[in-house]
Amino acid sequence: MRIASAASAFPKHYYTQKFLLERLQEYWGDELRNPQLLARLHRNVTVDGRYLAIPAERYPGMKTWGEANTLWIEVAQELGERALCLALRKAGTRPADLGALLFTTVTGIASPSIDALLINRLGLPANIRRTPIFGLGCVAGAAGIARAADYVRAYPGQAAALVSVELCSLTLQRDDLSVANLISSGLFGDGAAAVIVTGEEFHPADFPGQDRSKEESVPGEESRDRLSAGPKILATRSIFYPETEEMMGWNISEKGFRIVLSTEVPALIRENLGPDVAAFLHDSGYQRSDVKSFVLHPGGPKVLQASADSLGLCKRELDASWDCLRKVGNLSSASVLVVLEDVMKNRRPERGTLGLLAAMGPGFCSELVLLEW
């Protein structure tokens, strides 16, 4: 099994953190009793700027969750299509090559789900296996890769796509002035990402019913080179922490999604991530010192620091995660996929290097993916 490609897509509306802070101060107005607190929280998340699903001036005009969710469905299709098309192109595959499509989000709701709408937009195979995932939040990028690996393990001649779209700005609650919501207003951004996972026996030419004579040429050797360039997936593990459901998630009402974010999350990660990774590696025949490459979800500066402390890493070893956080903020499930894309494109380890991809999220839970580059 391999990760053949990873690709991201963002809205066209990008704003600096300074600009967004000023707009939020206007948005909350006199209801914001302590503007200095909001400014300090925005500085502390170490984010330089973020993408927004729609122009900043349109947000004050949204009055209902229904309006926000309608926009979410519209933008999610556009970004999901762009991310998936780019991931397919990077992998040297075509839409018709896909045997399974997984879609994950925690910032909007649609039925039929966005994966079904993407099938129509892209002309994906009518017999493609769909798996929409909702509720896993930040952990879903790593979990989606693991579930895609499960699929191609069962069907080694096939390829699976994971698409994540998170439009966190459309969940912002105007009447929630809790510290958790103030932090999230400065931390979370909008974006999408897609990953193609291929089985050991997969090759685009193996799929029947395609007339490639009418398609843009993708030579077989080039396709094989692209597929072999991605990291192998050696093993995966899911870890659930009982009685921690109040740590992170949403309270959902007629007004939409209200953030739940406990200050105890970094302590939970610091206590558990290192031992969990050590046990996972031991069961796979390795130890912590064997792992030289890390693709971690950039949940926030305290989460990243807790992860580094628990795994015994210096900040430099998580540069890709820190850079993602600084440039675009926390993208929930899409973040770890954006970090993966950066590592594959700009920071690729030497062949044979052992790597770890990991994320944490609501449940509370962790997902671990062992890679060989």
Which residues are the active-site residues?
Answer: 138
- Contact criterion met (CB below 8 Å) for 166 and 334: yes
Give strand pairing partners of 50: 15
Distance CA 352, CA 269 (A): 28
Strand duo 129-134 + 98-105: pairing: parallel
